[in-house]
Structure 1
Amino acid sequence: MSDEHAPTSTGKSRPPRQKRTGLTSTGVRKAASKSARSRSREFALQGLYQHLVGRNEATAIDMFTRDLAGFHKSDALHYDALLHGCIKLEADLNALIAPKLDRQLGELSPIEQACMWIGAYELMYCQDVPWRVVLNEVIELAKEFGGTDGHKYVNGVLNALAPELRAAEVQADKAGKSA
């Protein structure tokens, strides 16, 4: 007898489980279901990790990343903006993030810090991406690549930062929900 039709504690057999499409067995989105922008964020996160941990230069990271499997399916322009923009504006992004932290910047994991950089950068410079989409995408990155509860911390910091960087959009969104 297969596991799917095994009797339950009440003696009745349970129906087979429904397959969840678009997700791996761990609940992470499958690569095939990711948008080009989502993929570009993933590649940018990997590049920013190399920058934070290895202090690698942006051009070396860029050359390496473009040769990775699946890069051709990403939004290369968005990847460029995120990778080069975050590295160029590292000090500015850190200055935005640091006041929202409950610890020193150096105590963040490189994944959390890179996720926060991507989120802060997109909130500031990618006005075509709604603020909630920015937060959702970055939280998904933190869930997929970060530590157990790192996504919660990233969410808290970016939720505190969004009203400063997208005041009108956040205010309009919250007003619409209360109506």
Structure 2
Amino acid sequence: MSKPAHNTLAAERRKARHYGMQALYQWLMADASLSVIEAEFRADYDFSHVDLEYFQALLHGVPAHVDELEARLEPLLDRKLDDLDPIERTLLRMGAFELEHRLDVPYKVVINEEVALAKKFGATDS
């Protein structure tokens, strides 16, 4: 893959993660239907430079595997997932999903992207 194409894919995936985190946060807080959330996001946001497949994989994959992801995360935390800030919980679930189910993405990329989202949306000490 050429550098410009690689950079474009990286930017599109970054935007997909950004929207994915927001959509999964909405799912967590409002317990709304995933199809309704997806339709709202696609109507309200510009997806022309977003990896739509990746956004959909996150939006539908995390809820489909949430019990498995939480079972893996819980022993690694010093408190229950329910006691975490909802943004932090969403980011941990999303990162765990990518590490477990998106083996095409290097783990360093997943970690860097989740940290960047935590800095942008999370609490000061996220």
Provide the TM-score with structure 1 as the length reference. 0.63
Match of 1:40 among 12, 16, 25: 16
The match for 1:66 is 42
Question: 1:77 corresponds to which residue?
Answer: 53
Residue of structure 1 in register with 2:4 after alignment: none
2:71 match: 95
Which residue type is aligned with residue 56 of structure 2?
A: D
Which runs of 5 or more structure 2 residues have no equivalent in the other structure?
1-9
Q: Which SS does the other structure have where 2:87 is aligned?
A: helix
Deviation string 1:34-57 (CA, Å, 9 cap, x unpaired) is 700000001110111011111111
Q: Which protein, 1 or 2, shows the higher relative CO under an 8 Å CA cutoff with sep ≥ 6?
A: 2
- Between the two proteins, the alignment pairs up a number of residues equal to 117
| 2:89 alignment partner in structure 1 | 113
- Which structure has greater helix proportion? 2
* Structure 1 residue aligned with 2:7: none
RMSD of Structure 2 on Structure 1 (CA): 1.1
Q: Report the counterpart of residue 5 of structure 2 in structure 1.
A: none
Deviations along 1:15-68, one digit per CA (max 9) or x if unpaired, are xxxxxxxxxxxxxxxxxxx70000000111011101111111111111111123
* Structure 1, unaligned runs of 5 or more: 1-33, 151-179
Question: Within the alignment, does 1:52 sit opposite 2:28 as a pair?
Answer: yes
- Give, as a single letter, the amino acid of the residue that structure 2 aligns with 1:135: I
